[in-house]
Every structure is written in structure tokens, then in C-alpha cells.
Amino acid sequence: MGWTYKREDAEKARAVGFRDAQRSFDFEYPWLTEPLTKQEIDIDLPPSLSCKGGLTKGQRQGFILILMLLGLSGLSQPELLLSGLSGVFWVLFSLLVLWRAALLAGGLALATKKTSDLAAYDLDLPIYTVMIAAYKEADVMPQLAQALRKLDWPDDRLDIMLLLEEDDSETLPAALHARFPKGTRIITVPNGLPKTKPRALNFGLARAKGEFICIFDVEDRPHPSQLKAAYAKFCHSGPELVCIQAPLIGANANRGWLAAHWSLEYAVQFRFLLPALAAIQAPIPIGGTSNHFRRTSLIDAGGWDAFNVTEDADLGLRFSRLGWQVQAINLGTLEDAPTTLRDWKAQRSRWIKGFIQTWLVLMRRPSLTLKQLGWRNFIMLQLTLGGAILAPVAHGPLFIVLLASVLVDQLSPGAAGWALLITGWLVTLSGDLAAPGVPLRGRLLGALTRIFYWPLHSIAAAMALYEMVTRPHYWAKTPHTPSMDTDAACSTGLLP
């Protein structure tokens, strides 16, 4: 099911290069070749770019062939197969460790530079749309309203849209009683499938008024000047810059073991890895919140894939395929990490499932993706997105092998294996210790016990693989409660 744009919106978007996008992707938007005579126009993300259809015929045949070859090799030459798989594993993970080390070094170098996000910008501020998709989030409506009231943007140029599902009878009364900024629009998203955040965002995109669009989650507490920082970045860049990512900051790192690890992961990802990727104009799987867009570029790219459960990563990589850029700013957004294993596992399995969906869409036509990205970006894409899939799958089995090797010498990974393990841990440790914004207690708790945290990712990966077969488009929702850590990141300088 598509979403609807007004005629004038499509005409404005066409002026910024739809035909270039069409040529890049080698498909046609049906409404591009028709005269704009209708009052409203329906737009669907082309099937080739959506994960709705699942595996292509060629992908299914390829996976079956690989499994058959592995099975036959295991029956005829088991030792040779094991040796070959070990060699492939060692090479792949050596590349991933080196890639992460390079990004960490680049991100650390960028972080040491004294730069201000609030450079000069056009004082004639445009309308800025802020969209928040919420479902059964009554408890956090007052906190969200308070955070949005603090945004430093003229009220008459701020278009806040709260997108609520039609069957959500809990959140609407709470939203109506919360003190949202004047002019906030509460929009009901009609019932339909899939019931996902990107579907709600697409519904909102068709009704957005702003020249620029920002996405926040319901639990977010953004820096008040974040919109001005993003706008300044847009003003000082060319039209090829279509998305700006603000860092997400775990505000509750001291609330438990899982929260400490999650907060460290976010600190490294958004303060080191993502800025380093942006600096070299590599493909970037953006985060699901605190990202800022040119509205016409969102329309141009086809909006979000409503069937992808990491619609953010998918959209960021689609931007790269179009030759567009994603950049980062420093002024961040506070979020709370999951504190229970159940919530952490649900969220992490959704992320891994979405990464798999995104990779499969990209690899439907590898030659086309390679042509669009070039060899350099294509390889970096595989290291970034492929690593985000392979590492969680391998962590658990590797941990079991290491434990078993203590009891059985024959299972020892050998000198090369131990060297790879220790190097990987030291690279991760260096990022954990250098990343800003995490209190000392949470930092040490996470950094020193990371090796016990990694195997949990394999449990989440197993759940993700199971859901890829049984319910690929199911959105595992993370519950939220009002935060008790609103001042947790003050010492970082990212928040006032």
C-alpha cells in the first residue's frame, strides 16, 4: 500500500533530480512518466528496493547450492572443509578487526578537533518538521512534550507531528493532556499491515509541511539546539548532503550491566565509527532517530521501506546508492538503554533481522549495487553491514570453542586464533575507554566484561534468523518508561 503526496509536493521534488535517481536505480517511478493532472498521486517504493518480497529466486537457488556444496564437502572431506572454514573465518574477522581499528582511529582523530556545530546559517529559518511515531507510549508523553518544548526553533516555523496508530486508545488521551508545543499535530495512522514505525513515518511524510524533517523516538531528549546545528550543516553543504545524523547517548549507563554495554556501544558507534564513515563518504547505515533530512530528498529516494525493521539503515544505504552524502553533528540526544535481557534481546534481534533484510535487498543485483557504489564503497559496505551480521552469529560459537579449548587441547584455536581474539578485544577495549559520555562505573563494567556480553548477540542472531522465516516483518517493540537519568550526559558537553 502506497502513501499519498499532494501534487505540488511531487512537482517540487521533481525539480531536484528525480530522473537522476531513476537512472541510478534502473527502475521507473510510475508517476514520473505521467502528467501531474491528478490532485493527489500515490507513490510506492519500487519492489526491487523493498524487502517485502523476501529472497529472489536467484538468491534462494544460490543459498541452496552453497548448502549442498557444504554438505557434500562435509561428507567426503570433513577435515578439509573444517580447515577451509577456519581459514575463511580467520581472514574475514581479521579484516573486520582491522576495519574497526581504522574507523576508531579516524573517529578519535576527528573527536580531538575543536569544531562547533553552530556555525553561521541563514537567519531566515524555514519550516522544520519533527516527526515522532508512537505506539502504546502513554507513560512517556509528558517527558516527550517537555523535550520538544525545549527545542530552539521559532514556534511558527516548527511543524511537530505525533503519529499515533488508530488502535492505540492509550496514548491519545495522554498526548492530549501533555503540554506539547503550540501547533503540534496529532495524526492518526489508519490500521494496516505491516504495523511498523516506517509505515507510520511514510504516512507522516505525505503530510509534512517542512523543508527539512527530523525523526525522534518517544523517549528522546534532544539537545535544544540540535535543529539549528543540523540546519547550519545543510547551509554550508551542497545539495548532495541529504541526511545529518546526531549522536545518540545512553543516559542510564549506571543502571545495570546491560545498560552499561549498550551505552558504550552507542558512544563508540555515534562518536567514533559513524563520524569516521561520514568523513570518508562511506556508505552509512544511519540510526533510527535524531536524523535530519531534506524533505525533497526523502521523497526522491522513495521514503522508508515499511517492511524493513531497520528502515534507518536501509534508507542510509539507499542514499549512498544514489551518490548522496550523510554527515554527522555533535549535539546529541539522550536515550535510555534496555535494562532487562528480554527487552535487550527483542531489540537486538530486530536490528540483526533488519540488517539481514537490508543486505539481501542490496545483494539482489550485486552488479548494479557495485556500479552505483564503486569498488571502494562496495567493499566498505560489506565490511560495515556484513560485519554487523557476521559478528553476532559467530560470537556465541566462538565463545563455546574457547571454553572447550581450556578442557581439550585439540580444540585450541592456535596461536593465530588467540592473536585474533586478543587483538579484537584490545581494539574494542580501546574504543570503550576512549568514548565520551559514559560514567566511569558503567565504562569499566562494560569494557572489562565485554567478552561475556558478545555471546548474547548470538542468541539474538538465532532469534533473528528464526523470525526471518516465520515472521520477517514483525516489529519487536521496546517498551519505554519516563527516564530517571535526564542529567546523565551533562558532563560530555553534548547537552546543556
Grid cell for residue 449: 566484561
| Of the candidates 362, 382, 343, 352, the residue with the CA atom closest to the CA atom of residue 466 | 352
**Residue range 277-288, pLDDT digits in tens:** 999 999 999 998
Which of the residue ranges 38-47, 357-366, 375-384, 480-489 would you say has the lowest mean pLDDT? 38-47
Q: What is the structure's pLDDT at 11?
A: 44
Mean pLDDT (the chain, rounded): 86
Greater confidence (328 vs 30) lies with 328
Which cell numbers hold the place of 412?
585450541
pLDDT at 215 over 60: yes
- Using DSSP's 3-state secondary structure scheme, residue 286 falls into coil
Report how far residue 250's alpha carbon sits from residue 422's, in angstroms, rounded to the nearest whole number. 27
Between CA 139 and CA 482 the distance in angstroms is 7
Of the candidates 152, 197, 196, 200, the one whose C-alpha atom is nearest the C-alpha of residue 186 is 200
Q: What is the mean predicted confidence (pLDDT) over 306-321?
A: 96
Check residue 21 and give its pLDDT: 42
Phi-psi region for residue 26, left (φ > 0), alpha (ψ -120 to 50) or beta? left
Spell out the residues 6+ positions from residue 273 whose beta carbon is closer than 8 angstroms to its own: 100, 103, 104, 107
Q: For position 381, what pLDDT does the model report? A: 97
Least confident of 74-78, 111-115, 179-183, 391-395: 111-115
Residue-wise pLDDT for 51-101, tens only, equals: 999 999 999 999 999 989 988 888 888 888 888 888 888 899 999 999 999
Strands (E), 275-432: 291-294, 325-328, 333-335
Mean pLDDT of 105-123: 79
Q: Interior CA angle at 281 toward 275 and 283, to 5°?
A: 90
C-alpha 104/C-alpha 102 separation (Å) is: 5
**pLDDT digit string (tens) for 261-275?**
999 999 999 999 999
Full-model pTM: 0.89
pLDDT-derived band of residue 315, with 50, 70 and 90 as boundaries? very high
* pLDDT tens-place string over residues 319-359: 999 999 999 999 999 999 999 999 999 999 999 999 999 99
Whether 491 shows a pLDDT value over 90: the answer reads no
The stretch 389-401 carries a mean pLDDT of 89
Which of 238-242, 350-354, 409-413 has the lowest average pLDDT? 409-413
Q: How far apart are CA 175 and CA 134, in angstroms?
A: 10
pLDDT band at 1 (very low <50, low <70, confident <90, very high): very low
Q: What was the pLDDT predicted at 416? A: 77
Strand, coil or helix: what is 293?
strand
Q: Could you give the count of Cα atoms lying within 13 Å of 455 in the half-sphere of its Cβ?
A: 11
C-alpha 446/C-alpha 258 separation (Å) is: 8
Least confident of 137-141, 224-228, 475-479: 475-479
Q: Which of left, alpha, beta for 465 (phi over 0: left; psi -120 to 50: alpha)?
A: alpha
Q: Which residues contact 246 (CB under 8 A, 6 or more apart)?
A: 222, 223, 226, 229, 230, 290, 291, 292, 328, 329, 331, 332, 333
